[in-house]
């Protein structure tokens, strides 16, 4: 599993992530395609980080991601105007 992460200057405490689940070659191709799209759109000013996980590390990452997403949604809902 690959996770591509960028930092949004508007929300510096949260990373924007895209996660690819599959074989190494497929994930690598998807990551390169995503990097190209983000670069073309000028969205890589803060950089792009690639993280790779497998086995227990991948399961732990997915579990943590679900918890963080729930926390993020609660934080956004508590903000005025959301």
Q: pLDDT (tens digit, 9 = 90+) per residue, 26-79?
A: 999 999 999 999 899 888 877 888 999 999 999 999 999 899 889 988 988 988
**pLDDT at residue 18 tops 90:** no
Tokens of residue 61, six digits: 């990452």
**In this model, does residue 82 exceed pLDDT 80?**
no
Q: Please tell me whether the overall predicted TM-score, pTM, comes out greater than 0.85 for this model.
A: no
Length reported for the chain: 82
Domain chopping of the chain, boundaries: 2-78
**CA–CA dist 30, 65 (Å, integer):** 20
């Amino acid at each position: 599993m690959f996770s591509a992460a960028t930092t949004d200057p508007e929300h510096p405490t949260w990373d924007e992530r895209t996660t690819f689940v599959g074989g190494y070659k497929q994930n690598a191709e998807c990551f390169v395609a995503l990097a190209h799209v983000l670069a073309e759109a000028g969205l890589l000013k803060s950089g792009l980080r690639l993280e790779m996980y497998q086995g227990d590390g991948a399961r732990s990452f997915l579990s943590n991601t679900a918890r963080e997403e729930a926390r993020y949604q609660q934080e956004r809902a508590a903000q005025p105007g959301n």
